[in-house]
Chain A
Amino acid sequence: MADQIYRVNMSTLTFTVEEVPTAWMGLGGRGLTSTIVAAEVDPECHPLGPNNKLVFAPGLLSGTAAANSGRNSCGAKSPLTGGIKESNVGGTSAGIMAKLGVKALIIEGQPAEGKFYHLHVSKEKVEIVEVPELIGKDNYEVLDFMLEKYSKKVAVMSIGRPGEMRMLLSNISVKDPKGKLRSHGRGGMGAVMGSKGIKCITVDAESYKETTLADPEKFKEASKVFTQALKDNPISGEGLPAFGTNVLVNIINEAGGLPTRNFREGQFEFAENICGETMAENIKARGGDTTHGCHAGCVIQCSQTYNDKEGNYLTSGFEYEMIWAYGANLGIKDLDVIAKIDALMDDLGVDAIETGNTLAMAVDAGILAYGDGAKAYELIANDIAKGTFLGRILGGGVGNFAKLYGMVRVPVVKNQSIPAYDPRAIKGQGVTYATSTMGADHTAGYAVATNILNSGGHIDPLTKEGQVALARNLQIATAAVDSTGMCIFVAFPALDDPKCLPALIDMINARFGVSLTGDDVVNLGKNILKLERAFNQRAGLTSADDRLPEFMKYEALPPHNALWDFTNEEIDAFWDF
């Protein structure tokens, strides 16, 4: 049977299962969530009101045997940025939804205030059950409850207390193959789910069928080439499995672009304490696990399990952005302390980047000191989780916190806080932050690859030449890749191995019996970006929102004393395509 659209109305507590409109058939992942949000959501609606919609869509290749195809996209109007949002995640939900034939799950309307529900999606059916007993529970308790109720394989997406309180730094957590959590991290998607009165969504993993392939032989052939390209690439095949994403701490630090003490410096004197090499040594000595995947079918295996000195489990999915936010930017020099905070935040369901950056702002406000991990933990566990007055203020994210405390140094773009690469010292990445339809988002067009890592050539990170074109090409390619269900790390072989992208396109063609070319895929990426930008413009965002924080123009970043020096015209030329 063909894929279908599952639609749930939370005002009437009803569902429908619909045919996929022709215009949506060739879309998946981000391309589909953004198309649905743009088509069905009033850009002027309140993002936490009844007229916003929360959309989940697995990628075009999710559910197939294609390596690294298990990313699920979540879209809505973001309460953090006020614009369109797509946030994608690993875990098990994409594969299970795709195999069940769920092209997209659209959640609209709003139930009576204070009520929370559990949605269980199975073949052509959505059960909508009120769950007062789960109100006030965090992710792992909800997860255990669902694993008890259904099979161990069931897909689980949930929110913790911050999502219930509609905090802007709340995320949606998703069960991974090992029963731990991954996140639709950015843009306050947890708040949107909370506003829909949904505590948890499960997707049946028992009655699904395998996804159908138009040309199984051609698919198998292309899949083999693609997998080999991932394995042969030194980054996806060697570096990421050995050291995880946290291998970046040292190279970004050496380049002077590691935001330190709330974006005041570009190097952290304790980088060695928190770097990927140290993390790998600890894991080896303590009996953790250096390589596992965030979703089934991953051949990169960049994730890990991290134990304490006694060999007891501390956390998993311990990533660079988290370690930077609490390490360099908040000044904590003990990896184990950061790991404890990571586990807490997984359970609560809050975005590592937005929460860490907000705590760094709280240092400037005199609420805690740099490096005070115990206080940082307490602020999250006692204030954010419980929704105290201070917790609500922190829970509003960097931009709102700054307004309430009268602060001028505000590291956000479109009100979303800047990730682990200082744009003054890594200028290509700065262009992505400025122009992305998502707000400051490193994954939207990862210019760090070419500015710092020598992937796809090299462009000097400290000069302006070539950066706008680089960010444009990367954002176009990323919008397309985000529609396939592919992990963004396929970009490393795609940038350097000519066999990689054609094999990816061949897999899509063999899956659907179509004949897309490279140009079609580029056009898909361009169309997605333009569609998202048009939504943002109708929501009231203008080119004045495509700007980096003003302080970066006059506050030089050591050690290179770099400033953000693009003119508005140079940035606006990004959209000339």
Chain B
Amino acid sequence: MTITVKLFAQYREGRFKEEQRTYPEGTCAKEVVAELGIYEGRFPLGVLMLNGRHQPEEVELQEGDILSLFPKVGGG
């Protein structure tokens, strides 16, 4: 299945802004986060959104989903 992965803020450094990526059926968001090396990086996962909704890392992905990953960000 094809998933659109969007990265933001420091996650873009050495990675990408947005990519269409292919994963086997049943892949959960956590596996994508792990594959991208985010858990080992300096910036822990801040917010995970699937199709614009906050979701836990365990959420299972479906064909065509948009997965957006953010380190902790804020402003006002």
Contacts and interface: CB of A to CB of B under 8 A. Distances in A.
Interface of A: 234-236, 238-240, 242-248, 250-251, 254-256, 267, 272, 276-277, 302, 319-320, 442-443, 446, 448-449, 452-455, 458, 460-462, 488-489, 492, 559-560
A460 B71 CA distance: 18
Output the residue of A238, A267, A559 with the most chain B CB within 10 A: A238
Q: Is the interface of A mostly helix, strand, loop or mixed?
A: helix
Contacts of B49: 254-255
* Top 7 closest pairs, chain A to chain B, by CB: A245-B75, A235-B74, A234-B72, A248-B75, A239-B73, A254-B68, A256-B52
A236 B73 CA distance: 9
B43 interface: yes
Interface in B47-66: 47, 49, 52-54
B74 A489 contact: yes
B52 A492 contact: no
Contact of A242 (B9, B17, B46, B76): B9
A489 B6 CA distance: 26
A238 B43 contact: yes
Given A254-B68, A453-B46, A454-B72, 19 more contacts: A234-B43, A234-B71, A235-B74, A238-B71, A239-B10, A240-B75, A243-B9, A247-B75, A248-B73, A250-B9, A251-B8, A254-B70, A255-B54, A276-B75, A320-B76, A453-B73, A454-B46, A489-B76, A559-B52
Interface residues of B, number: 22
Contacts of B73: 235, 239, 243, 247-248, 251, 453
Nearest to B48: A454
Contacts of A559: 52
B37 interface: no
Contacts of B26: none
B15 interface: no
A138 B23 CA distance: 59
A245 B70 CA distance: 15
A244 B9 CA distance: 11
Nearest to A253: B52
Interface of B: 6, 8-10, 12, 17, 43-44, 46-47, 49, 52-54, 68, 70-76
Nearest to B8: A250
A561 to B, nearest CB: 12
Given A234-B46, A255-B49, A559-B52, A239 B9 contact: yes
B72 A235 contact: yes
Given A234-B44, A251-B47, A276-B9, A455 B68 contact: no
Contact of A455 (B43, B70, B71, B74): B74
A193 B49 CA distance: 45
Contacts of A236: 74
A243 B76 CA distance: 12
B54 A302 contact: no
Nearest to A454: B47
Contacts of B43: 234, 238
